[in-house]
Amino acid sequence: MPNRLTRAMSAVAVALAIVAGQSSPAMAQRSTVITGRVMSEAGAPIEGASVTIPTTRFGTQSKADGSFTLIVDASVTGTQQVMARRIGFRMQQKSVTIVGGAASVDFALAAQASQLTGVTVTALGILAEKTTIGTSQQTLTGDELVRTQTPSVLSSLSGKVSGVTINQTGNIGGSSRIVIRGAGSILGENQPLFIVDGMPVSNAGFSTASAGGGRDYGTAAADINPDDIASLTVLKGPNAAALYGSRASNGAVVITTKTGRGGVEGTRFSFTSRMTTEMPSVLPDYQNKYGQGFVGEFQYVDGAGSGVNDGADESWGPKLDGRLIDQFHGKAQPWIAHPDNVKNYFQNGSTVSNNISVSTAAKGMGARLSLTKDNTKGLVPNSSLNKLSGSLAASAAVNSKLTVNGSLQYAQTNGMNRPENGYTEGNPLMSFTWFGRQVDIQSLKNKYYNTASPYGFADGSLYNWNDNYHRNPYWQQYENPAPDSRDRVTAQLSADYAFTPWLSGIVRGGSDSYRFTREERFAAGNIDRASASYNGGFTSFNERAKETNFEGILTARRTYGKFDFTVNAGGNLRKNDRFNDAFSTSGILVPGIYNLANAGITPSFSNSEAHSAVNSAYGSAIATFNRYLTVEVTGRNDWSSTLPKENASYFYPSVNGSLVVSDLFPSITRNGVLSYLKLRGGLAKVGSDAGPYQLATLYNGSSSKFGGLPLYTLANTSANAALKPEQTTSSEGGVEVSLFDERLTIDATYFLKLTRDQILPLTIAPATGFSATTINAGQISNRGIEAMITARPVRLANGFQWTTAVNYSRIRNKVDVLAPGLTTVTITGQWGTNLEAREGQPYGTLFGYGFKRDSASGEILLSDGMYQRASVKSVLGNVNPDWVGGWSNEFRFKNYALSFLLDVRQGGENFSIGNWWGTYAGVLSNTLKGREVDWNKPGLVAKGIDAATGKANTVVVTAEDFNHSQYPIAEAAIYSTAFVKLREMRLSYDVPVRYTAKLNLREMNVALVGRNLFTWTSFPNFDPENSSSALNGGQGFDMGALPTMRSFGLNFTITP
């Protein structure tokens, strides 16, 4: 034992000697002593720079004043390259001739932006040096967010941040979903907390869209104007966000807006204009050989079954060979293909976005005013979205101790006729999943109503290709107005006060409030929305929500020798208020008057309010030793109004640490390969409260009166008066490496996140009188790795430079356990297929009917040549990607910059209802198989085992019968959503000063931008990103949702 200890101690001593960078005095007889200073180009001393002779083992570090003393053994002689390096600066080498005795060399290092260094925002808005942070996070600058025109700041994160999955829809102003490190909460939205300038803001989802209908009104984060963002930091998970409390279990997105302060003194204007045009990025591949009908026959009389198969909304009709057939637009019309009849329904969208900002900066103060107007015309006819946003921010140092900040953001968003989603008549795209391939869409555009058709409909009924199931898609968009509007005001004020050089305090107060209103108006004839005997109807919905926060934090920073300490202590009072009201009637009297006074059917009303509050106290202590070893502990206690008194108070701690190994052992950087190495790790626990009003079983009234009689009914869920908070524990470890003088940096993290005690409705036997009771149960685990690799492979003397970055995230998600007697929780469902949290499976499992298979061989069993449905449902896939990644590149040469971003998603499945019905209905090109000759010739022989004979199937069936046989089988339309997208492309040009000067401009930049330019995917016919909404329940199904938009455009920025 003593021997071993002695040996260990000598090893430590040797290590320390190496750390100290000094050779033993015995060897210093004829040594050379090199002295000098390491400074920045701006003239500031650089502490902690390593000064080495890479070819030898000799090295030292600079002191606080930048000075260093490097003692070199006598064995080293001649001209040597002395290298000075410090993270955040470009390495510099200088030649020194070593002859013994004294030598001198000074360095002036150029600053270099790096992913791994610099000051960044951490939880509670505290600034910290990246080298001291023990958790994982990633920061994007405002410029990186506005490279191309995106519908929301969240969309622009796609492919750029590791550990993050972004889902978006193609609708104008559609929702975007960001999930950090996998979904943990079974029924929560799993969205991170959004913080703007220190205050939480809402990212509430307004979407009513699902694969079954509704509209996608986007999420509240879309109100944040990207032009006003100075930086955006993603705090990846509870470890980084623990101090934010209850809502941090999904991580946090921390946004700092531009204040104008700290820039060049004086007043600056900036004008940015972006013009893009949009088109669908993916459209289905339709067949153009057979028109509407069944069994090769069709003749139109009333589109409702009176003619020959004229009720058919499928394309199994006669061959499109020009024969004359009665159609909805006239008798004996040529029966010909209209290959672009779907494509022509779409119009080119356009977005014109203009931003003007003025900022003024003087010593210690600054202010910025920004106004942005976005006008968007959608892909679907008569749809638009207009947004006006303004921002005012000011910051002033009142004196040397007191700084005050204030900011105010306003956004007004007005949507018009955002198309309905999903499998509903209100979705114009739904008809294209069925449709007659011969339909001349132009004639539907020309008129909506029958006036004097040859078939005697002078009744104003719809002029349409089918009257049984579908609407004229133009009538839907032009005669059924659906306006929506949202006003959002976010305001915050803060005062920062330095009591002493080491003690400061901040108080901050703010509110985020919005009012959202949407109305859907139905014309007469909209029979599944309005009563048949009335002239239409309408629904109106209003929501007001407000969150207020009030916060105070004291911060002490002290240095004792090599130790730096930072201690924070604070408290927060949060209150959330929400008011909803809605009214509707399915029958109005006078057409076009969408007012309750015009209601023919007793309107129904509802109103509700919800209030909750959380009080919090928190603190953190950070100790840094010698700038390379940092340990942070945090603690927070929340008191929530939504939990029973005995469980209302809950505490959660976190601890994390970081070690800059390359500073601890500078020698490892000596060979010039490794320039920086940091290890970090942390543990955190975060609690999450319940929604309001879940503790008591209540009676619900009804605004509808039965012949004037009031109605009440008991709630369907039996409440649980003993709820506990949900718990998320998370551990992570990471490494940050910089190689080859920061030409290559790697930031990688492994994490494990467990979410327990989930607040769930446990489905119970309905005979109890209740459908569910609320319980705390279950555990979901997310484990994964996330990595960001940045490289500058080429940097030529002529100024050409190539920067590339790859990010990669691989998350394994599993529902480890639910509750006794509970094997699955259904999140949503469509056509008998559910999106579930199923025990032992990943969150978001698709569970439905597969093909009937031979139990021995697993081959598909056919009966009479057609598919059969399995007798029980099974797991068909899950929506979680195996991994996601992004690859960004930027090439700069002189005034030109070319950048592109590839966004990659591998794995994950979707139940494509669009493909399912499109195949059933014979409109997609894959349905031509078996009818290459005529509607029933040559027929096809499906691959599989004949259930009757047990041998390979030989029965010939028509394409129509065969494709119909896949209807009850969801498995037939489960596809991988893997894709590679050319997400962003931008070519920009900075107009040289010699021209801008003539125009009296400081800067001028022109850029060509493109978004979603190409998609490589095996997903058939539709966009693999296609989902009805990006909210929790919108995942896993595609049905008639718009593809993401492909956009091209021009950006133009001038700064006078």
Please, which of residues 637-666 interact with other proteins by CB under 8 A?
637, 639-642, 644-645, 648-649
- HSE-up (13 A, CA, CB side) for residue 789: 9
Q: Map tokens 């408290």 to a residue.
A: 571
Decide whether 340 or 528 has the Cβ nearer to other proteins: 528
Supply angle C-alpha 661, 664, 670, rounded to 5: 80
Q: Which span (343-351, 636-644, 781-789, 891-899) binds other proteins, by CB under 8 A? A: 636-644
DSSP state of 17: H
> Distance between CA atoms of 293 and 316, rounded to whole angstroms?
5
Is residue 333 a contact point for other proteins (CB under 8 A)?
no
Please list every residue from 984 through 1003 that binds other proteins, using CB under 8 A. Answer: none
Instruction: Decide if residue 550 touches other proteins (CB under 8 A).
Output: yes
Q: Which stretch binds other proteins (CB under 8 A): 14-22, 49-57, 596-604, 739-747?
A: 596-604
Site for other proteins in 829-848 (CB under 8 A): 832
Write each residue from 467 to 506 as x if it is in contact with other proteins (CB under 8 A), else as -, in one continuous string.
------------------------------x-x-----x-
Which segments within 236-348 are labelled E, that is strand? 252-257, 266-280, 324-327, 330-334
CB nearer to other proteins: give 891 or 967.
Answer: 967
160: how many CB neighbours lie within 10 A of its CB?
A: 24
**Minimum distance of other proteins from residue 294's CB (angstroms):** 9
Where in 924-953 is the site for other proteins (CB under 8 A)? none
Indicate whether 532 belongs to the interface with other proteins (CB under 8 A). yes
Cβ 958 to other proteins shortest distance, Å: 12
Q: Tell me, what amino acid is at 213?
A: G
User: Which of 769, 799, 950, 992 is the binder for other proteins (CB under 8 A)?
Assistant: 769
Distance CA(197)–CA(224), nearest Å, equals 12
Minimal distance in Å, beta carbon 845 to other proteins?
A: 15
Q: Which residue, 716 or 949, has its beta carbon nearer to other proteins?
A: 716
Nearest to other proteins of 714, 993 (CB atom): 714
CA distance 950 to 354: 68
Interface with other proteins includes 551 (CB under 8 A)?
yes
Applying CB under 8 A, among 299, 461, 615, 804 the residue interacting with other proteins is 615
Which member of 110, 119, 698, 933 binds other proteins (CB under 8 A)? 698
* Token pair for 435: 């449709």
How, if at all, do strands 945-946 and 861-863 pair? parallel
Q: Which of 604, 779, 936, 1055 binds other proteins (CB under 8 A)?
A: 604
The region of 119-127, 358-366, 597-605, 1011-1019 touching other proteins under the rule CB under 8 A is 597-605
* Cα dist from 1 to 4, 5, 7, 13, 732, whole Å: 5, 6, 10, 18, 35
Residues 708-737 that bind other proteins (CB under 8 A): 709-716, 718-719
Q: Which is nearer to other proteins, 829 or 1033 (CB)?
A: 829
Specify the residue, 311 or 426, whose C-beta has the smaller distance to other proteins: 311
How distant, in Å, are the alpha carbons of 696, 761, 958 from that of 699? 10, 18, 56
Q: Which of residues 298-317 bind other proteins (CB under 8 A)?
A: 305-306, 311
List 13, 527, 952, 993, residue binding other proteins (CB under 8 A): 527
Rounded CA separation 414/426 (Å): 20
Residues sharing a CB contact under 8 Å with residue 924, sequence separation 6 or more, in sequence order: 284, 285, 286, 287, 915, 918, 1020, 1021
Asked if 361 and 264 count as a contact pair (C-beta separation under 8 A), the reply is: yes
CB 136 within 8 A of CB 236: yes
Closest alpha carbon to 367 in 271, 257, 489: 257
Q: Site for other proteins (CB under 8 A): how many residues?
A: 86
User: Is residue 531 at the binding interface for other proteins, with CB under 8 A as the rule?
Assistant: yes
Name which of 10 and 306 has its Cβ closer to other proteins.
306
C-beta of residue 260 within 8 angstroms of C-beta of residue 367: yes
CA distance 344 to 1017: 24
Q: Can residue 460 be called a binding residue for other proteins (CB under 8 A)?
A: no
Minimum CB distance to other proteins smaller for 344 or for 704: 704
Q: Which is closer to other proteins, CB of 489 or CB of 573?
A: 573
DSSP state of 923: -
Q: Pick from 702, 874, 949, 1018: which binds other proteins (CB under 8 A)?
A: 702
Stretch in the footprint of other proteins (CB under 8 A) among 62-70, 315-323, 692-700, 950-958: 692-700
Of the two residues 871 and 1000, which places its CB atom closer to other proteins in the complex?
871
Name the residue among 148, 146, 206 with its Cα closest to residue 175.
Answer: 206
| Shortest CB 295 distance to other proteins, Å | 9
The residue (of 182 and 311) whose beta carbon lies closer to other proteins is 311
What b/e readout covers 1028-1039, taking b as 16+ CB neighbours within 10 angstroms? bbbbbbbbbbbb
Rounded to 5°, the CA angle 675-678-679 comes to: 150
State which of residues 125, 692, 733, 938 lies at the interface with other proteins (CB under 8 A): 692
Considering only 71, 111, 601, 735, the residue that binds other proteins (CB under 8 A) is 601
Q: How far is CA 691 from CA 64, 338, 515, 518, 528, in A?
A: 52, 52, 21, 24, 33
Closest CA to 61 of 46, 75, 51: 51
Three-class DSSP category at 476: helix
Contacting residue, 18, 71, 613, 739, with other proteins by CB under 8 A: 613
Q: Which is nearer to other proteins, 560 or 699 (CB)?
A: 699
Smallest separation, CB 292 to other proteins (Å): 15
CB of residue 523 to other proteins, shortest distance in Å: 15
Q: Which is nearer to other proteins, 819 or 1050 (CB)?
A: 819
State which amino acid sits at residue 173.
G
What 3-state class would DSSP assign to 1002?
A: coil
372 to 431, contacts with other proteins by CB under 8 A? 401-402
Residue 556 engages other proteins in binding (rule: CB under 8 A): no
227 versus 496: smaller Cβ distance to other proteins: 496
Instruction: List, in order, residues 6 or more apart from 439 with CB less than 8 Å away.
Output: 292, 328, 338, 341, 465
Residue (402 or 596) nearer to other proteins, CB? 402
CB of 587 to other proteins, least distance (A): 5
Compute the 3-state secondary structure of the chain and give helix, strand, coil in percent, each to the nearest 5: 10, 50, 35
Strand partners, 480: none
One of 97, 141, 344, 768 touching other proteins (CB under 8 A) = 768
Q: Decide if 376 contacts 418 (C-beta within 8 A).
A: no
Strands 365-377 and 384-397: antiparallel
Among 591, 821, 840, 992, binds other proteins (CB under 8 A): 821
Q: Shortest Cβ distance from residue 493 to other proteins (Å)? A: 13
Q: Cite the DSSP H helix spans in 378-532.
A: 430-433, 441-446, 473-479
The conformation of residue 743, written as its DSSP 8-state character, comes to T
Q: Which is nearer to other proteins, 611 or 812 (CB)?
A: 611
Give the separation between CA 479 and CA 402, rounded to whole angstroms.
Answer: 59
Is residue 16 at the binding interface for other proteins, with CB under 8 A as the rule? no
Closest CB to other proteins among 174 and 570?
570
Question: Which is nearer to other proteins, 258 or 529 (by Cβ)?
Answer: 529
Helix (H) or strand (E) holding 377: strand 365-377
Minimum distance, C-beta of residue 687 to other proteins, in the bound complex (Å): 15
Asked if 572 touches other proteins (CB under 8 A), the answer is yes
Interaction of residue 571 with other proteins, rule CB under 8 A = yes
